[in-house]
Every structure is written in C-alpha cells, then in structure tokens.
Amino acid sequence: MYEGERAEVLAAVDRTAGGISTAVVVFGEPGIGKTTLLDGVRATIRISGIEAEAALPYAAVDRLLRSAAALIDGLPPALRDLVTRPQEDPFLVGLAVLTLLSDLAPVTVVIDDAHWLDRQSAEALLFTARRLDADGIAMIFAAEPGFDASGLRTLALDRSADAAGLLDGIELNPQVRDRIAQEAEGNPLALLEFARALTPEQRLGQVLPVSVLPAGNAVLARFGHRLAMAVPYGSRLLLTLAAAERDGDLAIVMSAAAALGLSEGDLAGAEGVLRVSGMRLAFRHPLERSAAYYLVPLTDRLRVHRVLAEASADPIRRLGHLAAATLTPDEHVAAELEDLARRADPALAACMLDHAAQITPIPAERARRSSEAARNLLRTDDYERALPRLAGHASVRDTLLAGDEQAALTLATKQIDELRERGTPGELPGMLGLYAEAQITAGQYGEARAALDEAAEIAAATGGSEPPAELLAEIAAIQGDASGRPGLLALGQGRYEEAIPHLQADWRARPEVMTVAADLVEATARAGRPDLAAEPLERLTAWAQAAGHPWCQAVALRARAFLAPTEEAGELLARAVHLHEGAGRPFEQARTALQFGQWLRRAGRKAESRQPLQLAAEQFDRLGAAPWAERAHGELRAAGAPVVNAAAAPEDPLGGLSPQERRIIRLAAEGASNREIAAQLFLSPRTVEYHLYRAYPKLGVSSRQDLRRKISGRTS
C-alpha cells in the first residue's frame, strides 16, 4: 500500500548523498498511514508536532536543535543567537536552521504531525524547506489536510481498498471482516482499531446490524477531543444520533432528533464533523463516528436507540434499535427478534437469535434460540462456532448435525421413553423421525423403518405431521430401490453425470448435511468434472476439521483423494481407512474401504486390495446396499479373489410382521406386560393381546420365553 509514495520519499533521501536537496509534504487524514510511511525513512533528525505545545513559540525548533546541539557553537554569532534565543522573526530563525542543516549535510529531517507545530516553528521550518538547493538536505513533512505547505512538493495518501489486507492476520468471521472494511472506508487505523476492539464473540460474528463498531480507549479519547474542539456542546447528541443510524438517512436522523428536542441548528453545528449530501449524511472520519457514540453516557445512547426505533420504518433497523435499548430481560423483544430472524439471511438470523437468547427471561427459550442460532451459523459455513455449540445442546437434531449419531440415539431413546411415560403422543412422530435419522446413520435400516412406520401411524391417529419422506428415500437409494433419492441412487449405480444435478440440488436444500457434499465430490470427480468439486470439498474439509469426529475426517480425506495425485490419493485413503476403525457410520466406512481397494488394485497391489475390498463387500451386503455391494464384489473378482456368491443381508427375525406387530413384539421381548405395552403405544390391552396372538404363529413361537430367544438369536 502507498508503494509509489514510499518510493518517492526514499528517493528524496537517497539524493542527499549527491548533494541534491528535496522537501516533500505528505498529506493524509488521521490514521491513513503517514507515520508508518515516515517510519521507513532513515532520518538524521526526527521530530513531531505536539498538540500540547502548539501555543509555545519555537517549541518545535527547540526540539530540532537539541538533535544538533554540538554544531550550534559553529554558527556565526548572529545566527547562533537566533537559534539559542529566537525572537519574533521566524524567517531569520529559518535561515539559521538552513545554515545548521547545511553543516550537517547530507542530512534527512523528518517532521511528523506538522499540523501541530507551533506557528513560529512552522513558518521557520517551511522557510527553510523552500530555500533548499544543492546542500544535500531532505526535509520530509507529514500533516493532515489544512496545513499550509504552499510552494512545496506534496503527496496525498488517500483511502485505499488495499488497506483491508491489514486484517489478514486477525481471525474474523467473513461477514464481520466485510463490515469492518465497509465502515473503515479504507482508513488503516480504523480497520485495525475496529478489529482489535471487538470481543472474541464479536469477531466471530455476534454483531447486531445497528451496533457501532468500537475502538480502543486511547483512540476514542483522541477523536473525542477533536469532536469537542469542532462541535458545540449542544450539537453533540445529534452526532450520537447520526452515529447510531448506520445508513446515514437524514430524514430518520432529523425525525429522531426532533423527539429529543434537537433542531436543524444542531445539525449546522455538527457540519465540521458530518458531511451532508442530499438526504444522506456521513462522518468525515470513521473513528469520529465511534467517538461520537461511545464517549457519551449510556443513558444518552439508550435514549438515542429508542427514538431511532420509533423513527425507523425498516423492521430490521427498528428491532435492532429496540434490542440495543433493552438492558433487562424482555421476552416480547426477544420474540420479535426471533420472528424477524426467520426472514433474514442465516448470518443475520444467527446474530438476532443469539441476542434474543441473551435477553429472554425463560431458560427453555434461551436454549432453543441459542440452538437455532447455531444451526444458522452452520448454514453460513461458520463450522468452528456452530459445531461445538450444537454438540453442547441437549437436542437430538443438534447432536446429529454435530456428527455424533451415538449421542443422538441415546438421547432420542431417552426422550421417546419420556414421551411415552407422559402420554403425549402428539410429540412422538417428530422424535421418532429423529431417532430413525440416527439409526440410518448407524446403518440400522430395519430399526429406522420401524420407527418411521410408527411415527406415520401415530401422526395419522393424532392429526400430526409425519417425519420427512427423505428418510425412507435415503434408505431406498442406498439399497438400490428406484424410489430412493435420485442423486445418491445414481451415484451408487455408477451413473455419475446423471447424479450431479440431483446432488447439487440436495446440497443447496441441505447445506448443513456434509455427507451430501462428499457425494457431490465423488460424482463430479468420477464424471471428469473436478472444477465442480472444489467448493463442496473446501466446505467438507472445514466442517470435518471443526467437527473433530474421526468418521468426519475420514470422509473428508476420502473426498480429497478423488482430486489428489495418484500417490497422495493412496496416502489419504490409507489414513481414512484407519480413522474409520471403530468410528461407526458403516456405510461411509464401506465406501472408503471400497475406494482404497480400488486404488490398491489399480496400483498393481492386488493381494493388498483384497482385504479392504472384502470388508467393503461384507459391509454393503449387511446393509443391503445392493448397487454398492455389486461394485465391491466386482472389484474383488478383478483382484483375483475366489468367486463367491454375495452374502445376503442378515434375515430380520421380525421381517414378516406388520409395523404395529413389530413394535409390540419388541416390547414384549424386552419384558413389558400387555398393559405396559398398551400404555407406551397408546393402544388398549385387548388390541395388544390380539396382535400378539397373530404374531406368535408367524414367528414360530408359543411363549414370551421363546420370543426372547427368537429375537436375541438364541436357540432352545
């Protein structure tokens, strides 16, 4: 940034060795980078203007001369008297300084914050600068606009979009980074101050749209002093209004100002700080906005947000100001925030829901809204914030999204039992659907189907909602049934080009389900379209790293292997196979083993390929995943393994029963009495007895003891 200006200043310094003199004044607003540029200059003498000494005649000249005190005695007596006891003639003092610097040549003098030089020193030093000739002297000034440097070479440092690169070393949520860059308007100091002053939570995204970005105390004090010098006391509350109204809508600001008893005269008093263009107003410096907001009492800020809430027609702005004015728990405001969050984009919704969770007085609502906020964060790819929060919530859905199906199964079983005990059938279908989803991830498709059948029956009886049909479609696709999800079905059957648009649609609909991203990477890579795999692979890798579960990392490594060079792909797959061991997710484990076996066989390592291929074939057979099993057995044959018939999926001992009979039989096998079964399934004891009477002959049993043996696989 400012490379051209830096080069010109350094060239001026270099020319002093050849006896050439130069004077340059670098202009720029506060924080634009003037001092940073001058810090890169090798200076013989370096001074800065000091605001506190701006009224002391020749204070700056005195500081300069102290740097060259040894040479003062060599000056002619008349000039020596001028620099040691300066009078009211800055031009003669300037001549004395010129003579002194000539004796020091080659010499470079750097004068920072020249706008704070006392008047006499400024006149003397500028007189010196205008009379430089072949002396080998470089004088480099830095000043804010308004410093009179007529007759000298000037350079202007303007705001630059490149300044946003200063944020590269600071961990920021992408939306927060964009917000900082937008409000700093290319000012380097503002960029860094905004970023450093945010709390860790704010850096990760918890910033309400109407909030004013903070700055450090020292910078706030500096800019607050500037405001105090530039704006009459009566106009300062209007500055706070303007700071809190982020859009700079003049009509809203003046409407709110009227509610506080302010007028157009107060706006006129603030013109030294504000720019008014049409119906928009803006602060001349981004840090003045922060100072105008944070350096007033909290009570004034609350008043400002209340009147802006009344004046704002935009619902997001209105509610944002209302939330900013709310310091005590308020369920009404929390509920409004949640309602608005439903219509906002995921990043904004997450922020609103987090704030709603903070201000609600109801613990259950706080937990629920925090959970919803985390789910929205997941949809913004903010996995590092979302996944730990989801894992920490006592919610089946959240533990599933966090990638922990075993925790989800345990929690779902517990909650289903509690719902049955309480006799609340209306809530069962939803929980049974989540239980089925967890069973699908665990490879227990029969259990999942039974849960979904029960959920459908209860929903029909109570008028409730059935679990989503996608769950049964997931199982069907894995097992090669035409009713399954088209994308996953086509992927399993090797129709990769056909699978791509379906998987892309699935991923857009469910961006939080990262196994869909893995499917899309595989389909695009196998179809020879790796360009379509880059984005899902990037997100999948970030998700796996944040989730931390071995199976997640294994799936991400498997996906990376599709796009990696041959040798690297083998290393990635070997690591993935190892990570899958004991990590659950049998379908994903079998897919990784299949891919590794394929890689080994194609690398000419047929003997080594048989073990992972055998594991994949057996796993797919057990799951009933026919298309995948067929591929695994085909690879085994190609690897020279003995030709064997594919093993059939293990027979379900309850396979010939209706869904209702299956549920009753399982409870009976667990030792529940007819009355207990009836209570759990919301049936009459007589109906339970009837179903047992019909089921026993189908199973070839005549007692509950026989039933327990049948279910457990034991023989009499």
- Residue 200 pLDDT greater than 70, yes or no: yes
- Residue 716 pLDDT greater than 50, yes or no: no
pLDDT one-digit tens code per residue, 555-578: 999 999 999 998 999 999 999 999
Q: What pLDDT band is residue 84 in, cutting at 50, 70 and 90?
A: low
- Residue 660 pLDDT greater than 80, yes or no: no
Take residue 258 and report the two structure tokens written for it: 């009227």
Residue 508 lies in a domain: yes
**Could you tell me if 144 and 65 lie in one domain?**
yes
For residue 205, give the nearest of 86, 38, 379 by alpha carbon: 379
What is the C-alpha separation between 512 and 546, in angstroms, rounded?
13
**Could you tell me if 292 and 395 lie in one domain?**
no
307, 238 Cβ separation under 8 angstroms: no
Report the CATH number at residue 46: 3.40.50.300
The domain in which residue 451 lies consists of: 390-468
What is the C-alpha separation between 398 and 406, in angstroms, rounded?
12
Return the pLDDT at 175.
80
Return the pLDDT at 464.
79
**Could you tell me if 271 and 407 lie in one domain?**
no
**Could you tell me if 692 and 632 lie in one domain?**
no
**Could you tell me if 196 and 344 lie in one domain?**
yes
Take residue 82 and report the two structure tokens written for it: 């001028």
Length of the chain: 716
For residue 664, give the nearest of 702, 691, 624, 639 by alpha carbon: 691
**Could you tell me if 422 and 338 lie in one domain?**
no
Amino acid code (one letter) for 434: L
Measured CA angle at 17 (ends 13, 21), to 5 deg: 60
639, 613 Cβ separation under 8 angstroms: yes
**Could you tell me if 181 and 285 lie in one domain?**
yes
For residue 205, give the nearest of 37, 74, 359, 381 by alpha carbon: 381
Largest Cα–Cα distance in the chain? 128
Peptide bond into 106 cis (omega under 30): yes
Range with the lowest mean pLDDT among 203-212, 219-228, 548-557, 693-702? 203-212
Number of domains in the chain: 5
Which residues are CB-contacts of 303 (< 8 A; sequence separation ≥ 6)? 260
For residue 545, give the nearest of 514, 510, 588, 567 by alpha carbon: 514
Q: What pLDDT band is residue 89 in, cutting at 50, 70 and 90?
A: confident
**Could you tell me if 511 and 458 lie in one domain?**
no
Return the pLDDT at 713.
56
Return the pLDDT at 553.
94
pLDDT one-digit tens code per residue, 33-77: 899 999 999 888 899 999 889 988 888 988 887 766 655 666 666
Residue 474 lies in a domain: no
Helix (H, G, I), strand (E, B) or coil at 23: strand
Range with the lowest mean pLDDT among 159-163, 204-208, 710-714? 710-714
Residue 161 lies in a domain: no
Q: Which of 63-67, 243-247, 547-551, 589-593 has the highest mean pLDDT?
A: 589-593
**Could you tell me if 262 and 346 lie in one domain?**
yes
Q: What rounded mean pLDDT belongs to the chain?
A: 87
Q: How far apart are the first and last CA of the chain?
A: 84
Return the pLDDT at 405.
87
Residue 194 region by backbone torsions, left for phi larger than 0, else alpha for psi between -120 and 50, else beta: alpha
**Could you tell me if 405 and 283 lie in one domain?**
no
User: Exposed (0-12), middle (13-18) or buried (19+): which is 264, by Cβ within 10 Å?
Assistant: exposed
- Residue 618 pLDDT greater than 60, yes or no: yes
Q: Can you tell me the mean pLDDT for 623-640? A: 92
- Residue 680 pLDDT greater than 80, yes or no: no
- Residue 533 pLDDT greater than 50, yes or no: yes
pLDDT one-digit tens code per residue, 423-452: 777 888 899 999 999 999 999 898 888 888
Cα 127 off chain centre by? 54
Report the CATH number at residue 673: 1.10.10.10
Return the pLDDT at 521.
96
Amino acid code (one letter) for 574: A
Q: Can you tell me the mean pLDDT for 335-353? A: 86
Return the pLDDT at 69.
65
Q: What pLDDT band is residue 78 in, cutting at 50, 70 and 90?
A: low
pTM here is 0.70
Report the CATH number at residue 533: 1.25.40.10
Q: What are phi and psi of 280, to 5 degrees?
A: -120, 145
Looking up tokens 């700056």 gives 60
**Could you tell me if 494 and 435 lie in one domain?**
no
Q: Can you tell me the mean pLDDT for 389-401? A: 85
Report percent pLDDT > 90 for the chain.
42
What is the C-alpha separation between 397 and 406, in angstroms, rounded?
12
Residue 481 lies in a domain: no
Helix (H, G, I), strand (E, B) or coil at 397: helix
Residue 514 lies in a domain: yes
User: Exposed (0-12), middle (13-18) or buried (19+): which is 242, by Cβ within 10 Å?
Assistant: buried
Of 385, 420, 454, the residue at which a domain comes to its end is 385
- Residue 715 pLDDT greater than 50, yes or no: no
pLDDT one-digit tens code per residue, 294-318: 999 999 999 999 999 999 888 888 8
Bridge partners, residue 585, by sequence? none
Q: What pLDDT band is residue 714 in, cutting at 50, 70 and 90?
A: very low
Which residues are CB-contacts of 473 (< 8 A; sequence separation ≥ 6)? 483, 484, 485
Return the pLDDT at 70.
59
**Could you tell me if 549 and 615 lie in one domain?**
yes
287, 297 Cβ separation under 8 angstroms: no
